[in-house]
Structure 1
Amino acid sequence: MLPRDDRNERVYLDVEGGIGTIFLNRPGKRNALDYGMWTKLKQLLDECATRPEVRVVVLRSVTEEAFSAGADIGEFVTMRKDSETSAVYNRATEAATLAIQSLSKPTIAMLQGFCVGGGAQIAVACDLRFAGQGLKMGITPAKLGVVYGFIETKMLVDLVGPSRAKDLLLSGRLLEAQEASQVGLVDFLVPDEELKETTFRYAKGLLANADNSMRGTKTMVLAALQGVTEDTPELAQLVSESFDSREYKEGVAAFLEKRRPNFQPPILS
């Protein structure tokens, strides 16, 4: 657990029982994302990557009203007033987004209320998205005269397909929870009052699995999304090395002994 003082930050990390929870903490602005929040998010993701006790990462809001209502538009008149200043801002948002996608540990977005613009960008970058029935989700660059970046666009296309991505970006409309689930933006849709329990029950379930297998799964899927169509020496090595790992030995032994495998504490291959 973190000292209470850290919870005054607009983005903060709480680590407990193998799960690192990153909170968006600007409830008065519906977690409107400013430049500092993007840079802090990247910093905390890097921290999660290097802390062995963090095995699963959940991104959530401190308020039920919104995961995030999007970027802090009021900041645009200074931080994003032209191409030069926007380049700095865009690098920060892309760095945080890529840090989510490339994190070797499972990432789960817990979505409730408004999830718009930059908030949706964060959610799409995660491995899985759990949402409450009150979700309203949309990606709105067309409402601002902004062209959505390639990195973010590709992640969206990979998730929902090109036609759906075009619909979402061209219209900029907000989707209700059921439609967001139907088009593939949401993986697990539950009543609002069950969202936290359902999300963290799933996250805790992942803790029972082998870290090397989960890391390998993420690497394989990302390679496929990045256009790799044949096995490579690096990917083949991941498979081969798993058979020499302590996780593999423990998993096989547990199966033969008719017990649950114990992958705690984290075993690094």
Structure 2
Amino acid sequence: MKIELQVTDPMLLRTFLAEQAISKKSLSAIKRNGALLVNGIRQTVRANVVPGDVVTVVLPAETPSASLVPSEGPLEILYEDDALCIVNKPAGVSTMPSQLHPHDSLVERVLAHFREQRTAGIPHIVTRLDRQTSGVVIFAKHQLIHHWMTGIIDKVYLCAATGRLPARGRIDLPIRRKSESIIERITAPDGKPALTSYLTLLRSEHSVALVRLHTGRTHQIRVHFKAIGHPLLGDTLYGTDQSTGRQALHAFQVTFSHPVTARLITIQAPVPHDLRFVIPI
């Protein structure tokens, strides 16, 4: 994989690469198994670059984990380029393998897609969803791209919650793992900071809300909505409602600045059929 970067100020190539958030570890790997070019000519990090120069970073090839088994399961691609692959995850598919569900994970389906397309790169999970949550999942095609994506994504979900939510709200409650469980989370003063905001779109026997995550704790939306007395429909871990076959939660939209081109990108995943009767958006 190659990345082209435009120089705007005179400096050492080493300094320029550091300003692009290329870590010393990544730079060492690039020098060992990749290449650095300035205007098409190989250079060392001690070279000087000037405005107008084009720096090409040839990223080293990566090998996927031996535990990943490419899966030919169905894959809905919402967006793809040389750096990213963004897909619409169905409910009932794990983002990554687990002890209970060791194969046919989403990452293994993406790996099979990469091999079929002869894509240079391996899938690195940027955003992940619970097995029974549907919607947008982002994969980077190299570790460096994954690093560049950290913390720059605006995530918006759609959910259906029990009861009648206020018109809007902010839930600022720390979250930690429940002591006697390896899965369940709770709100607690000694937990990690967690902030969720929401806008209620519909209210009838239940409420439909547009939810924005400001932090990324495990089960954050599910735990926060339980904490305010409105657990999600179908969420039997944090509530009692069984009107849907799974928690009524869908990762609807992501917005971010592309890590290579800096172009603002917004990707949406339509509400799946199994939730349209409770989230009629």
TM band (smaller chain) = under 0.3
Structure number with the higher strand fraction is 2
Q: Provide the TM-score with structure 2 as the length reference.
A: 0.21
Which structure: greater helix fraction? 1
